Structure 1
Amino acid sequence: MSLRYSAGVLLFRRTSGLEVLLGHMGGPLWAKKDASAWSIPKGEYEPAEEDPQSAARREFTEELGLPVPAGDWTPLGDVQYGSGRGKKQVTVWAVEADLDPSEIVPGHFDMEWPPRSGRIQQFPEIDRAAWFTPDIALDKLGKGQRPFLDRLTQHLAEQALSPQD
């Protein structure tokens, strides 16, 4: 069993309340799904070749077609999920910034579709992005990524309680 590594950036903003930016996974397997079909912009990397923060920055840009907006990077740690050959360790940072989801220009991937047809088609990695409150985002995200929402809200709550300089 080999562990795969992934890194990402969870953008958040405070408008009338807290919101996080998620991307809906592209391709025909996700087209008609909503619950658990959204993701933090992230992607795989090889630890021997790239550090996780650089990978998170690169993958954000590849998936959304936009650079990570300027802001402080708050580490939200690692989560492991999946099993067997699909076991993955994901490392995520939170960045407070705004981004217009209508401006994304998603990267693409190739996939044989329909299955066993021999036809290779191209699909967007993320077919749309949107801002969600943490409660709604919990339903949208896959189970393995949900701990990052809890960590973000906990961090912001602790930050609000600490004295400001």
Structure 2
Amino acid sequence: MVRSAGLLLYRSAASGAELFIAHMGGPFWRRRERAWSIPKGEYTDEPPLEAALREFHEEIGVPAPDVPWTELGEFRQASGKRVVVFAGAAPAFSVTAVRSNTVKLELPRGSGRFVDVPEVDDARWVSVDDARTMLVAGQVAAVDALVGLLGRSG
């Protein structure tokens, strides 16, 4: 079973909570409606939070903010991948440009021609409602878990 871990940053805004999400890079995601994701990545032997912090840095290009993290749970995506999501309040976090690592893809498939594409090509703060329509469907449950947590604590 493939396991991933990710970080869901949040902050308060005049219109309600905002979430920091990332747009997946490469031609497959270019024209898809739900092409956004919680910054995340696969892990095997390391603790999930360490993996989530490492992957955030690799995908966004800057270290994750040094904040307390709360495990929201493990969420299943349509692919079968399981994603452990950690949430952290990061009101001062900002990034001017995403500097993601790259992955090698064969384009077109079977051609023997490989190109490097960024794992992430954009990241931004969006409203909770926007995140629910932008994120890949399997990650919306993590947003709902965060909203539930924030409702109980505030």
Please, what TM-score do these two structures have when normalized by structure 1? 0.88
Q: Is the 8 A contact 2:22 2:120 kept in 1?
A: yes
Q: Is the 8 A contact 1:101 1:128 kept in 2?
A: no
Structure 1 segments, 4+ long, off by >3 Å, are: none
CA RMSD, 1 decimal: 1.2
Give the 5 Å matches for 1:1-165: 3-16=1-14, 17-33=16-32, 35-46=33-44, 49-82=45-78, 86-97=79-90, 98-160=92-154
TM-aligned CA deviation for residue 115 of structure 1: 2.1
TM-aligned CA deviation for residue 102 of structure 1: 2.3
Taking the aligned partners of 2:93 and 2:122, their CA distance within structure 1 comes to 13
Taking the aligned partners of 1:105 and 1:128, their CA distance within structure 2 comes to 9
SS at 1:102 equivalent: coil
Percent same amino acid at aligned positions? 41
SS at 1:7 equivalent: strand
- One-letter amino acid of the counterpart of residue 144, structure 1: G
Q: Is the 8 A contact 1:63 1:107 kept in 2?
A: yes
Q: Which runs of 5+ in 2 are unaligned?
A: none
TM-aligned CA deviation for residue 135 of structure 1: 0.6
- One-letter amino acid of the counterpart of residue 67, structure 2: G
Q: Is the 8 A contact 1:79 1:90 kept in 2?
A: yes
Please, what TM-score do these two structures have when normalized by structure 2? 0.94
- One-letter amino acid of the counterpart of residue 95, structure 1: G
Taking the aligned partners of 2:145 and 2:22, their CA distance within structure 1 comes to 19
SS at 2:29 equivalent: coil
Q: Which runs of 5+ in 1 are unaligned?
A: 161-165
Deviations 1:42-90 (A, max 9, x none): 00011xx2111111111111111111102110110111233xxx42111
TM-aligned CA deviation for residue 116 of structure 1: 2.1
Q: Is the 8 A contact 2:98 2:120 kept in 1?
A: no
- One-letter amino acid of the counterpart of residue 42, structure 1: K
